[in-house]
Structures are given as structure tokens and as C-alpha cells.
Amino acid sequence: MAPSATLSPAPATTAQLNIGSLRLGAPVVLAPMAGITNTAFRRLCREYGAGLYVSEMITSRALVERTPESMRLIRHHPSETPRSIQLYGVDPKTVREAVTMLVAEDRADHIDLNFGCPVPKVTRKGGGAALPWKLDLFRAIVTNAVQAAGDLPLTVKMRKGIDSDHLTYLEAGRIAEDAGVASIALHARTASQFYSGQADWDAIATLKETITSVPVLGNGDIWTGADAVRMVEQTGCDGVVVGRGCLGRPWLFGDLAAAFQARAGNLTADEASAATARPGLGQVMAAFRRHAELLVEFFESEERGCRDIRKHVAWYFKGYPVGGELRAKLATVESLQQLDELLGTLDPTVPYPSEGVEGPRGRAGTPKTPALPDRWLETRTLASDEQATLAEAEVNSSGG
Ligand SMILES: Cc1cc2nc3c(=O)[nH]c(=O)nc-3n(C[C@H](O)[C@H](O)[C@H](O)COP(=O)(O)O)c2cc1C
């Protein structure tokens, strides 16, 4: 197929990505999002696209202790292949045990480690995005995880660093590469930025220049297929990780796959444009309804599933003419029957509104001075008194 003038593909480009032994049909990863990327949402997203769909973060200690919640979170539906689980941990031994358990019990095809959490209650104890500052600890966690993973691809996801004066991503990237990870993903913000401002795609380019033996994945502020291709072209990264852009828009994964097919010359720009989702209200309602059903299945409880779908209401209907009163009712929905009654009052023939649908959504926030343990920044190795504090950094919190 002739490539079009507007989406000129680089000649050697393919629309695939290999992460270790995994062969992905698109260089696209669903970003792990706590409270969001459970099997229900992953299944829905996967139905539209290709790539890798990562679980929400699971703490290694809870997994080793086999808490009922962590055992639920690691479950996959048979349609989910490859199965991908994100772990978070601060202790090399516990992380090793958690990875060993996942491998021995054949519960995953890919494991990612999270080093990006900016939540103060985590960084205050030295966990999350504060952890890679302690290079020896970071190295020990990643090395133990890679060894325990064996043939399973083990990857890392991190932020640029603690703040602009305390960047960690290049050193951490090199350490991870040496330790044998299968890819490195960078959310191009510091912890102090939370989700504010714009992701620094130049940092992704710098990481790509630094890491030569495994794929580098770029993350931050991809809202459309065109954004994803632009990130790859601007930074040279091997693939993209997409989070907030797909909230309430699972079909974004179809747009992303089409955009990369066009870049590879397998689709013309017109074909890619035709493949781009422009869902009318009826299609949004159907996806929202299906998401609710899948959540009910995941929680094995209609009440819990309906409670969980409430947080997605504003994202699904963003930009669509759905009144405040109806939104409020949907945001307190208690049963699928009630949900159907509420959706029944909407006009499914309302067309795609374009504006307001494709831009930023989800968390934003404002920059803050990161909370850290006392004297954390004074040394790059973990002091013995910091060890005890760190043990408390493995709390179940939501974040990256
Ligand atoms: C609600 C929410 C929960 C998140 N939870 C996690 C997580 O569990 N693990 C992780 O590595 N990142 C987590 N993140 C960060 C995302 O994976 C991603 O790095 C970030 O949202 C930037 O990408 P985006 O601009 O495409 O959203 C979370 C983000 C959001 C918005």
C-alpha cells in the first residue's frame, strides 16, 4: 500500500515491538493504573487494539502474604495473553519471592516493576520514585527480580527522578539494563511534578540514546494515535505507554494500532483516519455498560462492580451532551438495572462531538516539594537507619 504524504513512515519501521520473548502486535502498552487497569478494563481495551496490557500495581509483600485482594488483582481472563503484572516493592528479598511465586505458579507472562509512585506517604518513607536515588538498593531489587524471573521478561517503569535537581533516570536506566531487564519505560516527569505540566519528551530521547540494548518506552501525555507516533518520531523511543488518555476511551488502543500501522506503511493515512474511533453516544453507552458488566464479573459482586464504574462516568461522557443531573445519578448507580434505566434516558444517535473528547483527562495536580525521609538526599546508598523506615514504604497506595 502506498504510504501517504501526510503520515510518511520511516522505511525500516515496523508496527511491532518485542519485549524479551514477547512479540507485540503494536508498540503500545496500557499503563498500569491502580484502581483502573484490573482485568475488566484490560479486557475492554484489548478488544480494540494490540500490545501489552499491564495490571494495576500489586505490592510484593501483599502478594507473598497471599492477601485476598492481591490474589484477586493478579487474576487474568483466559482471553488475556500475554498476561502482564506490575509489582511494587522496596525489599529485594520480598520482590524476589513475589517474582518467584508468579513464575512457579505460572501466573504471568511479563512482570513490570514500578519505581514511579509520587504519593507523599510512599516517598516520605523512601519508596516509589524516591527509591532509585539509592542506587545500591535499586540495583539489588532489579537484579533479584530479573534472576527470579528467569525466561520471563522483567521490565521497569520509572520517573525522571525526585525533582529537577535530583534526577535518577539515566543512572537507574543503565543499572536496569546491566541487570538484564527486557525494557525500560520512562514517565517523563519528576515525582515533584506529580501529573502537572507537560511530560518532558526530551528526557525520553536522552534515555533512548543512553540505553542501547533493550527497548525504551516513552510515557506521558499521549491522548491520540498521532501523539503516540509523534513521541516515537521525536524521541526515537521503541514504543509508548498510555495511561490517562484511555480513561473512558478504551477504543484509543484501536487508534494507536492504526496510527502505527500507517507509520509502518501498512495503512494509508486515509485508512488510518477511517479506522480512528469517533464514537457516537450510543457506542459510548455500550462500552460503558460493558465495562460495568466486566467489573461485576471481576468483583463477583454487582454492588461492588457498580460502585467501581461510578469513577468512570465523567471520563466516558466527557464532551458528550449528558446533563449534570444524569451524571450525578450515574455516579451513584447501585445496580445494572438502574444503570440501564439511566442510560435509557439518553439519545444514542448523538454523534461524536470531537471537541473536548481528545484532549487531556484524568489526574493533573500541582507541583509539590516531594516528601522524603530525613537526610535521604545526602547519600546515594541506603543507610542502616533508613532500612527500617523503608519497610513502611510498601503500603497499598495508588500510584505511578
Ligand atoms: C489513576 C492512576 C493510577 C496510576 N497507578 C499507577 C500504578 O499503579 N503503577 C504505575 O507504574 N503507574 C501508575 N500510574 C501512572 C501511569 O502509569 C502513567 O505513568 C502516568 O499516568 C503518565 O502517563 P499518561 O500521561 O499517559 O497518563 C497511575 C496513573 C493514574 C492516573
Tell me the domains of the chain and their CATH numbers.
3-276 (3.20.20.70), 281-343 (1.10.1200)
Handedness of CA 385, 391, 397, 398 (dihedral sign): positive
Q: What is the pLDDT of residues 257-273, one digit of tens each?
A: 999 999 999 999 899 88
Q: What is the structure's pLDDT at 384?
A: 87
Distance of CA 207 to the CA centre of its chain: 19
User: How many angstroms does the Cα of residue 399 sit away from the middle of ligand 1?
Assistant: 6
Question: How far, in Å, CA of 56 to CA of 58, rounded?
Answer: 6
The one-letter amino acid code at 23 reads R
Find all residues with CB under 8 Å of 62, minimum gap 6, and list them.
69, 70, 396
Distance CA 161, CA 144 (A): 22
Instruction: Write down the pLDDT at residue 4.
Output: 37
Give the residue from 384, 292, 380 showing the smallest Cα distance to 335. 292
E strand or H helix at 37, and its extent? none
- Cα–Cα distance for residue pair 99/352, rounded to 1 Å: 44
Give SS3 for 28: strand
- What stretch of H or E contains 138? helix 135-149
Which residues make beta-bridge pairs with 217?
185, 239
Q: What pLDDT was estimated at residue 400?
A: 63
Q: Among all chains, which residue has been given the C-alpha cell 523506615?
A: 389
Q: Is residue 198 within 8 Å of residue 221, measured between CB atoms? A: yes
Q: What is the pLDDT of residue 399?
A: 61
> Do 15 and 264 contact (CB within 8 A), yes or no?
yes
Query: Ligand 1 atom 2: the closest Cα is on which residue?
Result: 33
Minimum-distance ligand 1 atom for the alpha carbon of 86: 9
pLDDT < 50: residue spans in the chain:
1-12
Question: Is the distance from CB of 331 to CB of 288 less than 8 angstroms?
Answer: no
Predicted local confidence at residue 355, as pLDDT: 72
CA 244 to ligand 1 centroid distance, Å: 7
Taking the whole predicted model, whether its pTM rises above 0.75 is answered as yes
Query: Is 306 tagged catalytic?
Result: no
| Dist. CA 241 → ligand 1 center (Å) | 9
Residue 6's H or E segment, with its range, is none
Q: What are the pLDDT digits (tens) for 119-178?
A: 998 999 899 999 999 999 999 999 999 999 999 999 999 999 999 999 999 999 999 999
What type of residue sits at position 292?
A
From the list 117, 237, 246, 306, the catalytic residue is 117
Task: Supply the residue whose CA is at minimum distance from atom 3 of ligand 1.
Answer: 33
* Closest residue CA from atom 11 of ligand 1: 400
Could you tell me how far CA 99 lies from the centroid of its own chain? 19
Residue nearest to atom 26 of ligand 1 (CA): 243
| Ligand 1 atom showing the smallest separation from residue 159 Cα | 19
Is beta strand 22-24 parallel, antiparallel or unpaired with respect to 17-19?
Answer: antiparallel
Q: What is the CA radius of gyration of the chain?
A: 21
Best mutation site among 53, 73, 187, 396 for ligand 1 pocket (most ligand atoms within 8 Å of CB): 187
The atom of ligand 1 lying closest to the CA of 56 is 8
Q: Are 17 and 238 in contact (CB under 8 A)?
A: yes
**CA separation (Å) from 81 to 19, 107, 172?**
14, 11, 29
201-210 vs 225-235: helix crossing angle, rounded to 10: 50
Evaluate whether 172 touches 138 at the Cβ level (below 8 Å). yes
Return the amino acid letter for 31. A
What residues line ligand 1, using a CB cutoff of 6 Å?
31-34, 36, 56-57, 86, 114, 116, 157, 187, 219-222, 242-245, 362-363, 398-400
Distance CA 393, CA 188 (A): 23
Give CA separation, 53 vs 72, 162, 225, 242, in Å: 17, 27, 17, 10
Q: How far is the CA of 142 from the centre of ligand 1 (A)?
A: 20
Q: Residue with the nearest Cα to atom 20 of ligand 1?
A: 243
